[in-house]
C-alpha cells in the first residue's frame, strides 16, 4: 500500500477526511472554549474586586 492509496481511502476519502476534520474541530473547541470562558470570568472578577480594594 502506498500513500496515494492510503489518502484515497478506497474511494471514501472525502467522507473519511471530513470526519477526521470535524472530529478535530470539535475536540479543539472543547479545549479552547472552557479556557476562554475561564479567562473571561477571571477578568470579570478582577474588575469587580478592583474598586472594593480601594475603599
Joined grid coordinates for residue 46: 478582577
**Total number of domains constituting the chain:** 1
Domain membership flag for residue 46? yes
Domain membership flag for residue 49? yes
Joined grid coordinates for residue 41: 470570568
Higher-pLDDT residue of 12 and 26 is 26
CA angle 33, 27, 34 (to 5 degrees): 20
Joined grid coordinates for residue 12: 471514501
pTM: 0.67
Does the pLDDT at position 55 exceed 70?
Answer: no
Which residues constitute the domain of residue 37?
12-53
Domain membership flag for residue 18? yes
Domain membership flag for residue 6? no
Domain membership flag for residue 38? yes
Domain membership flag for residue 26? yes
- The pLDDT tens digits for 26-53 are 999 999 999 999 999 999 999 998 876 5
State the pLDDT at residue 6.
82
d(CA 33, CA 29): 6
Amino acid at each position: 500500500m502506498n500513500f496515494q492509496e492510503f489518502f484515497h481511502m478506497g474511494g471514501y476519502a472525502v467522507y473519511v477526511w471530513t470526519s477526521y476534520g470535524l472530529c478535530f474541530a470539535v475536540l479543539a473547541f472543547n479545549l479552547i472554549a472552557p479556557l476562554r470562558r475561564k479567562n473571561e470570568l477571571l477578568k470579570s472578577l478582577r474588575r469587580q474586586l478592583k474598586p472594593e480594594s480601594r475603599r
